A and B are shown apart, each in its own frame.
Chain A
Amino acid sequence: MPLMDQPERAPDKEKDKAIEEFLKSFKIALNNSQIYFKGHSLFNKSVEGLKVKLNILNPLLSSPKIGITPNSLLIDGKFWEKIKLYMDLAELFHRRKIKAIEIKPEATNDELAAFLTKASMPVKDIFKQGGLIKILKNEGVTNIHLDELDYSFILSGAGEEEKDLWTYLLYESIESKDAEKIKEFSDHFDKFLKEFNIKELLGDQDLKEKVLKFLIYIKDNDSGKFQKCMRETLKAIMQDARSSDAEKISNANALLKALKEDNFADNMWQEILTDDNFDPLSFKLFFKLINQEKHQEIAENLAEKVKKEASLRGNAHVIRKIKELFSIPDNPDNPYISKIYHNTLSFLIQDISPSEGVALDRALLSRNYRFILLNLLVVSRDKERVTGIIEKITAQWDNITNGKDIEYLKCLWQTVGDKKKSNSDFEHLFDELLKKISDYVERLILEDQDATGSEFFWEAINSTTFTLNDYIKKIFGGKKVAAGVLKLFFKFFPKDTALFYENLRSKRNDLAFLEVFIGCLKALDSKIALDALIYIYGFSNNLTKQEVLKAMPEMSVYDERFLISVATSGTRAFKIYALNILRRDAEKMRKLIDIALLKPSPFGINNYIILRNMALVEEVELKEARSDLEILSRRKFFWHKNVRQKAQVILRKWND
């Protein structure tokens, strides 16, 4: 068409409006094709409408092709995106592997109808029939052209090789010695190394020489760039060496000729600081790469660098990295070398406080969580919430029991108790939990001789899951017993003492057992425990008797008859014990003094007893007997002289 006959390009606004109208119409027609069969009046109407819009649009476009991306349409160089209409249309055709649609002006209504009907088929059906292009071809549609989306040619690989480019640059920079070209090449040296990898580089003699030449040149002319390129070279060699054999590593030495010891030190230090992948294997490779005689000096240089950076001593990650590096066994080829670096870097990991390299204390976390649940339980009033919290606490049961957290159980028990009192709705809410606690603590007390902190539960627990025999076995079966076990036994089996005493008697020769037993009974401080002590006294030797009497003053209960009997018939030491206990009760003491201790006898028949008892009275300072002593101090007759005198001596002493 001659230029002057071509319509002027419409202003963009008009074109955009026409495109939008067309797209709306397109969407409506597609929707209708899904709802109505081909030939339905409504569908036909929408096809006609679409044709009308097309006729308006086509003259306005410079290209009739509609490009399809996953979520937008490309029409006349502009992307139509972000609006649902455009995105839906794009997705519909993208899913059908269509990347472009061209509807020619000559397309008939029938062709449009066929296209719309087929395009709106389910995706699976379309592909089963060989794709939309094939389907339209079979339908005889010639004025609607589709481009298929096909990545296969891309995936099979095509494109420029960039290696030649880099080689060219390398050669250019060396030959020309152009500062700009050298700068550009050195700035991208790492990319060059990636393209070739070290194996290729070393394998190509010419290339290797050129690279060396380049490195030597920049070493003399630009030390900063030289450092950078050498670091990249060393890194590339080490990375390649990880999957290469030893021979290739030694070849790589050729490239490293230009490096001095301080360069190596610098490189190694930077790798330790910045490269997460610098691991023990990298360290080993480093040893291998460099000639043995250089290591001492490299290490010394490294030490200097490290010492300058004092702040690193607090850097948890550097410390961890260094520890990891030294976790490998000594280099079997040359253990001496590992030692050099070990000494160099080890000062960094000296004096590390325990907080370096910390871990989240999960056990403590679990404990805090349990107490949080307890605190939430305290403040919760809603039954459902309380039930939920109890469930959570129960879920922590294993943690509680593994840690033998009796303190927690005590707090829980008390809280639950308070909760029950506060609301009648909670009467039986905690029964299961309380039973669980009770059973656990009882078991703990029975099985763990060292259930520290369980004293609270001696009173709290109200039922047992064990039998009498279980308890008897526990008490008398081992080498020692705990107070808690005895306490619970007396609580749950108060009437079954016969078996208890029978077993206790059988232990009369086990002095060590009895000593501990006595201590437990003392701790229990109850009538029943006292009875047991008296029973032990009855069958024991003097040593054990003494232990019994030693225990009794620390108890709040005592047996008057027993003590009076000991005070009157026991050994001197025993009498003293008995007196010291009895004196707690003035009335009882009075009774003892009256009936036994200092009771005068006719003609002094028992004066020797009285004298003996006065010695006791004097020793224990039994001032309750003062009045009796005064009577004795005034006794007449010569047969009472000793008694009289002794009484006076004691009284004088007390009066002083």
Chain B
Amino acid sequence: MIEAIEKFLSDLMIALLLARVYPEKHPKVKEAQSKAYVDLCALFEEKNKLIIGVMGDELAFENEIFFDLSKNVKQGIGFLKQKAIETITFYQGLREEEFEAFISYLVTTETAKKDAQESLVVRGIKNISVGKIKVSGAVGKDELSDTLKFLRQYEGSLDEISQFIDNALDNKIVDYMGLRFSVINVMENLLNAQQEFLKLTTLKRLDISTFVHILNVSILSMYLAYKMGFSKDDVMDIGIAGLYHDIGKLYISRKILAKAGVLTDEEFTSIRSHTVLGAQILLKYTDSMGILPVVVAFEHHLRYDCKGYPKLAFIQKPHIASLIVSVCDVYDALCGRRTYKRDYPPDMVYNIMMKDKGTAFEPAALDKFFKIIGVWPIGAIVALSDKRIAVVKEENEDDIFSPKVEVISPPGSKELIDLKEKKDTLKIDHALNPLAEGKEYLELLQKQEIKQPPPPTPTPPNP
């Protein structure tokens, strides 16, 4: 019996993983679902219900803990934890459609904020129930702020993607399923909490890690693509291409990149050839990753008017995916500090890029980008015209110069202001560099975000 349950759980986890990576009706998904369902039906011949527990990172059934299996199916367990599911009860009489709907639900983007059991009911799943482990005694939960949670996820993504990039650089196999899974997670974080996750991309960092830039470009590209109306699959493909757009540069000696002085002609040619080099590296991975990363790596410096590099024997207009990544690449590069240049304030970045609209940048993509990012991006610390200091909280797409801001200084003057509604009286004067004059305000903000009051728990009645 235990072996049969273990097999069922293993097949269930495989089905989850495949459902996450492939579209819903994909034959591989269907096959995996059917296999797991058959396993389950066999178990119902002995028991009329099956209760599975998710204890930390381990799956359990009655007093059996599936240690080995749990180690191998971390990603699948992750889906359950994401939905705050700690127990799953399968009832005899469960139909295959319900089972498939359950799997589809588990891989959706709904998070723990939506009650899992309610979500099952809505989907007509009557023979599966899910829930949390009920323990006696009310326990107050001290939750991390969303910001810190996303920061952890962002940094976790950073670790993961650096591994995928390193594998390509070392000519090793790239686990495409794992890569897609990581990018799905990034994308879903982005779609579920755009403001919070985007803020992380505009965070000024002292580390000038290329991986940070790569991840930022990936996130920004996905966001722009999403807002331009691309499907989720296309958004994800663009995200993956964004991750690898600069892989050629990573190949080139870090000494050259980190050099503070002027590059020699030879060194400069090396940097420019990173697009060709990147495409050549990624050609080895077209079977797993497709051709989009190759195209984006090659084209992202070509420019909209094809006057960029590399110089081509056969000129083709860059693909829209490359043009999207190009906008995001340049934006992130201008915003960031490097050994060879300082970081620019947001309004200067806007002006620099807008000058090249229609030449370097595809006009619709550039316009859309600043509509959603705003001139003053989310998280930017700004000085208002009345000398107060505020942080940008939300963009106004129809007025990119007048976002919603929250005042953070002077202390005690906390206020949420929609600058669009105060156009005549209040505006942003300039941005404060959080690594320089804005540092004290950044620290202030970070303290505020960590310190969050726990949600009130109802007082139990007197017996």
Contacts and interface: CB of A to CB of B under 8 A. Distances in A.
A543 to B, nearest CB: 47
A344 B460 CA distance: 48
Nearest to A158: B134
A194 B230 contact: no
A151 B229 contact: no
A239 B118 CA distance: 8
Interface string A355-375: 111111100111111011011
Contact of A243 (B124, B136, B313, B316): B124
A364 B320 CA distance: 10
Q: Contact residue range for chain A?
A: 35 or more
Interface in B109-136: 109, 115, 118, 121-122, 124, 126, 133-136
Given A165-B458, A184-B458, A151 B294 contact: no
B49 to A, nearest CB: 11
Given A365-B319, A371-B314, A375-B312, A150 B63 contact: yes
Contacts of A388: 283
Contacts of B319: 361, 364-365, 368
A374 B314 contact: yes
B58 A70 contact: yes
B76 interface: no
B230 A415 contact: no
A392 B287 CA distance: 10
B136 A158 contact: yes
A149 B51 CA distance: 17
Contact of A155 (B56, B62, B286, B398): B62
Contacts of A356: 229
Contacts, number: 152
B30 to A, nearest CB: 23
A541 to B, nearest CB: 50
A357 B229 contact: yes
Interface string B284-300: 00100001101100110
B67 A95 contact: yes
Nearest to B313: A378
Interface string A222-254: 000000000000000001101100000000000
A245 to B, nearest CB: 13
Interface string B59-89: 0111101010000000000000000000100
B397 A311 contact: yes
Contacts of B231: 359-360
A154 B133 contact: yes
Interface in A134-191: 148-152, 154-160, 164-166, 168-169, 184, 187-188
A371 B280 contact: no
Interface residues of B, number: 63
Interface string A583-605: 00000000000000000000000
Helix, strand, loop or mixed for chain A's interface? helix
Contact of B53 (A151, A197, A240): A151
A169 B295 contact: no
A637 to B, nearest CB: 75
A155 B51 contact: yes
Contacts of A317: 229
A366 B58 CA distance: 44
A415 B321 contact: no
B246 to A, nearest CB: 17
Contacts of A156: 51
A137 B160 CA distance: 46
Contacts of B292: 360, 365
B316 A360 contact: no
B291 A360 contact: no
B143 interface: no
B12 to A, nearest CB: 17
B292 to A, nearest CB: 6
Nearest to A282: B122
A238 B121 CA distance: 12
A632 to B, nearest CB: 63
A512 interface: no
A165 B135 contact: no
A311 B398 contact: yes
B27 interface: no
A314 B52 CA distance: 46
Given A160-B134, A166-B458, A360-B230, 13 more contacts: A151-B63, A154-B55, A159-B135, A168-B461, A242-B124, A316-B227, A317-B229, A355-B228, A369-B295, A376-B279, A392-B286, A411-B314, A415-B313
13 contacts: A151-B55, A152-B62, A152-B63, A154-B55, A158-B136, A160-B136, A187-B456, A194-B115, A240-B121, A310-B398, A360-B234, A361-B320, A365-B321
Interface of B: 51-53, 55-58, 60-63, 65, 67, 87, 109, 115, 118, 121-122, 124, 126, 133-136, 138, 227-231, 234, 237-238, 276, 279-280, 283, 286, 291-292, 294-295, 298-299, 310, 312-314, 316, 318-321, 364, 371, 396-398, 456, 458, 460-461
Counting from the closest, the 3 A-B pairs by CB-CB distance are A159-B134, A316-B229, A311-B398
